[in-house]
Amino acid sequence: MTTTTPGSPETPGSSGPSLSTGRVPLSFDSLKRRRSQDSFGQVFQGLLVLSVAIAFAMVLAVIITVVYDSADVLFSRFWEFLNNRSSSDPAKAGVAQGIRGSLIIAAIVSLVAFPIGIGAAIYLEEYASDTPMTRLIEVTVRNLAGVPSIVYGLLGLAVFVQGLRGITGGSSVISAGLTLSILVLPIVIIASGEAIRAVPGSLREGAYGLGATQWEVIRTQVLPAALPGILTGAVLSMARALGEAAPLLVIGAAAFYSTGFQGQLEQMQGAFTALPMNVATFAKLPADVWSSHAAAASVTVMVLVFFVNIVAIVVRARVSKKLGR
């Protein structure tokens, strides 16, 4: 028969104090009471809820204001506004050429910024050694993500408009697309690098253990697992590219662009406009009638960005489902 003395550990299977700590385990009810008594935690949670509410209210206020100001155009001549070319006559002005210019810029950004940015992120995370030069490059990329967009406009003016005029045609949609590609490149690199860094090391170790090469590990394990995060960075960068007006102003985008739809080469190397330019042009005109045009163009930009986000969310969801994540 086993006996215990006061202060001695309880026998295995008993409901007494723990062998390791000598403390009685907390029940679920006691944990709930402790949580309800955590006043600092409740205050912090309340501040978080307040922050979310303020952010949502600000976004909602912007949407309501823009939609309300654009009601005259959206409800009276919505399709005409979308299909008409730029004009100095408010009754005929539209954003068709701005939509086409923004779509071409988006295509150029997708073809230039995304492959280069994702490739740079793969090299920095998977191939580059942890050297002072690598750390300097990473710090530089993060600093470039915070540079004002007008600085990139000056870069585009010097390099693409003036330096490469024979290729880009000067102030053209090609120059705009390349300028905005450089603008969003740091965002793509940072977001892709964070997504690759978040891939569990066990995936790499398992693939290496099966005899896979480094390229096979990256292609079959790392990139598929990091693809949802990479798509998120691509959406954020594309949204910024579609909404930037300052670089377009610097490189010489047209305000009122009413020369019609030219041939493909002329359209790529000739005068151009984009939706942010339409918004900026309509907003600075003195007549009150143009304010509704500026708001309607802003709604068009938001719808275009929303559509891009929806496409990326659907693709990300399908990829995650395919990977079982």
Backbone φ/ψ region at 125: left (φ over 0), alpha (ψ -120 to 50), beta: alpha
CA dihedral 105→106→109→111, nearest 10 degrees, is -110
How far apart are alpha carbons 141 and 240 in whole angstroms?
Answer: 17
Give pTM, 2 decimals. Answer: 0.78
Domain 70-323 = CATH 2.40.50.180:
no
The 10 Å Cβ neighbour count of residue 132 is 7
Residues of the chain by 3-state class (helix, strand, coil), percent to 5: 75, 0, 25
Residue 123: predicted pLDDT: 93
| Mean pLDDT, each 10-residue run in order, the chain (325 residues) | 47 47 57 66 90 94 89 83 79 83 90 93 90 91 90 92 84 89 93 91 86 87 87 87 87 61 60 84 80 87 86 77 64
Residue 33: predicted pLDDT: 63
Is residue 17 within 8 A of residue 24, CB to CB? The reply is: yes
DSSP 25-41: PPPHHHHHHHHHT-HHH
Residue 143 CA: distances (Å) to CA of 135, 233, 244: 12, 17, 19
Residue 169: predicted pLDDT: 80
Residue 146: predicted pLDDT: 86
Is residue 124 within 8 A of residue 136, CB to CB? The reply is: no
Domain ranges, ordered by start, for the chain: 31-60, 70-323
Sign of CA dihedral 258, 259, 263, 269: negative
